[in-house]
A and B are shown apart, each in its own frame.
Chain A
Amino acid sequence: MAGVTATSTHAKELGWPEKEELTFGFIKLTDMAPIAIAYEKGYFEDEGLYVTIEAQANWKVLLDGVIDGRLDGAHMLAGQPIAASIGYGTKANIITPFSMDLNGNGITVSNEIWKQMKPNIPKMADGRPQHPIKADALKPVVEKYKSEGKPFNMGMVFPVSTHNYELRYWLAAGGINPGFYAPHKGDTSGQIDADALLSVTPPPQMPATMEAGTIYGYCVGEPWNQQAVFKNIGVPVVTDYEIWKDNPEKVFGITEAFAEKYPNTTIRLTRALIRAAQWLDENNNANRPEAVKILSQSNYVGADYEVIANSMTGTFEYEKGDKRPVPDFNVFFRYNATYPYYSDAIWYLTQMRRWGQISEDKSDEWYFETAKKVYRPDIYEAAAKSLVADKLATAQDFPNFATEDGFRSPQTHFIDGIVYSGLKPNEYINKFSIGLKQGETL
């Protein structure tokens, strides 16, 4: 009886959505799953939201769509709202109340590069290459291309994408300089002093671009690494799980104006997304096969079932036939994956500074303030608490909001062994051997 009263008073508190018809954008990648699931399982409708989901051509079109109001919200690269709020690329106030997933990316090289890398990789007892493969194995190959005067081209999906930072992280950890940005000098190619030249290719075009020989390797989300294996055009060498265990990946982005104008709608859409993420990880990924089936529909990701299933169901196929378990390749809910931690935002900011996208030195305070402008755990908390009140989730599913300060404890699982603490951004930047340090400008 008490529970019922609590629920009904709560429904009054939350209120009906101010805007009911919404359009959300996404890019054809498996990590858009929470949006598709919230739609297909009726979680949006449960909130009184009538959502249209539209695939977008590339990250730029998607971002512009959210800014100009054509889209109400979208599946975004975590770096996008952050970059927009500091004015790198397009300036706009975009916030995120919901982090969409952990991990989910890989770095793939072409068969030709793999052949040249393979002799440099230590082998396990059964003859298979030992993982994680470091960029040390790629270094001699890049040096050979460089000495022959040939540019070593690689692809990533967007200048402020996780993939750009992950690829750079991996390369730099192996002693390969991925180059710097110098926006204050008008250089946004990110290829100053580069050993490997990184350029932008939209995710679904990665395999085809690599097959055409324009790039020798790329970093992208699923299913575009597994697609390369299936089509026999490349070999994924490392997953982002091995570069940084449980790294934050996509976020759900809306404009700040939207959140202010439609507070109930914002909380309600966050509720629906939280429920979808829970469903995706429920009972040890038991729902994943069904999720894969939904994602393989042509209006969502659209790739073949087998290709998507390869990574979504807890395995990852490296070289053809070398399928290994990576149970956390896609994490949608556990480990507080959906909570927008400030420290996650700060990591992206440190990488923007490291590679020169932020051209000037910033104080630690600046990092904290910027993160707080973009990441909105307050909205998440309101959504989570109302779900608990409605008995759709339990308090244990979420961080302890009473004590949570938005910073994960120092993270240690990086491929180069460097420890990251979101509380000390400048100290963290100074730890890297390749990259801009405190006080340095180009």
Chain B
Amino acid sequence: MASTTPVAGTPDRSAISLSLLRSKLLPALKPVIAPVIGVLGFLLLWTIASQNINTSLGQFPNAGNVFEQFSALYQEHAQEREKEEAFYERQEKRNAGRVAKDPSYVPKIRAYTGKETFFDQIGTSLITVMSGFLLAAITAIPLGIAVGLSKTLNAAVNPIIQIFKPVSPLAWLPLVTMVVSALYATPDPMIPKAFLNSMITVTLCCLWPMVINTAVGVASIDNDLNNVSKVLRLPALKHVQKIVLPASVPMIFTGMRLSLGVAWMVLIAAEMLAQNPGLGKFVWDEFQNGSSQSLSRIMAAVFVIGFIGFLLDRSMLQLQKLVSWDKKSLA
């Protein structure tokens, strides 16, 4: 298993091929080789580590175990969909029976009550994180612009931002949960409380980087631009629209990227803590299961969480590229 020794060029190889490699092939492959070596190195380290970690919950999973669990998770998903179909069939039959007995009854189709599979949980988490993030963006960007434009407002709001910014989701969550359950007391809620709790916690945690970055972006607009605006006597709204926004877009997006990263991390933590549906709950449930496959399944979830986080960041970057005029400032 551990026989993959990633040594490509040993000194006894001929110097010519090595120089050829260096001059032609290497530049072309450079963007590929380094990541591949990185990943292989990681896999090697992981394999070695997993063989040496034996916990009370079982052997630490290796790549093979994790892969196995991915397919097991997929199978569970497929099975669950079959059960779902049967569920709806049974329900229709039952409804028909009831209508036969009680013609005034208007049959209702209730959603499937079975467990959320791993793939359902991914969907739930993505929806939650995007809702929380959008809510935060809608609040934070206008606030950030206002704070950036007015020194007085900045002085007023700054201490609050500084104090709330470092607060962990674990501290917000109980507060959010209590407030939501107290205020949102309908017997048959349209939006599940658990979703609201996760979403608001995410919002509270990812608000701050956006406010700060937007404010800094707005405040540091080139004085020439401000002067142009003054000369043209642009009204306040026009000033924001034509001067402030375009000039601070790169900073706003930097803030949004930071926030989205925070949002994703916070969401997983909030789901774990509050058992709200999503990937975090999946991880926590597996940890509580303590079965011999639990570690591999958690590891599988870890990869998915990381991969999704990466994709979120990339898509934010693409969005930034689309709307930003200053392409050079992008990494």
Contact = CB atoms under 8 A, between A and B. Distances in A.
Given A298-B285, A298-B286, A52 B273 contact: no
A227 B292 CA distance: 11
Contacts of A211: 56
A302 B110 contact: no
A28 B275 contact: no
A28 B288 contact: yes
23 contacts: A20-B110, A21-B113, A28-B289, A45-B90, A48-B94, A53-B113, A55-B275, A55-B285, A69-B185, A70-B181, A204-B289, A207-B290, A231-B57, A233-B56, A298-B286, A298-B289, A298-B291, A302-B286, A302-B288, A302-B290, A302-B291, A303-B289, A304-B292
Contact of A303 (B90, B274, B275, B290): B290
B194 interface: yes
Contacts of A56: 275
B193 interface: yes
A57 interface: yes
Given A61-B275, A298-B291, A69 B286 contact: no
Interface residues of A, number: 38
A208 interface: yes
Given A51-B113, A70-B194, A302-B285, A45 B56 contact: no
B13 interface: no
Smallest CB-CB A-B distances: 9 pairs: A302-B289, A299-B115, A68-B181, A204-B288, A50-B110, A52-B113, A231-B56, A57-B275, A211-B56
Nearest to B197: A70
A208 B94 CA distance: 46
Nearest to A231: B56
Interface of B: 56-57, 76, 90-91, 94, 98, 102, 105, 108, 110-111, 113, 115, 177, 181, 185, 187, 193-194, 273-275, 284-292, 294, 297
Contacts of A61: 274-275
Given A70-B193, A70-B194, A303-B291, A50 B113 contact: yes
The binding surface of chain B is classed by DSSP as: helix
A178 to B, nearest CB: 26
A301 to B, nearest CB: 7
B239 to A, nearest CB: 47
B288 A208 contact: no
Interface string A40-69: 001001001011111111000100100011
A296 interface: yes
Interface in A2-20: 16, 20
Given A68-B181, A69-B185, A70-B193, A21 B291 contact: no
Interface string A386-420: 00000000000000000000000000000000000
Contacts of B113: 21, 39, 50-53
Nearest to B83: A40
A208 B108 CA distance: 46
Given A69-B185, A211-B56, A231-B57, A54 B94 contact: no
A28 B284 CA distance: 12
A28 B281 CA distance: 13
Contact of B273 (A45, A57, A68, A303): A57
Contacts of A54: 275
Contacts of B288: 28, 55, 202, 204-205, 302
Contacts of A302: 285-286, 288-291, 294
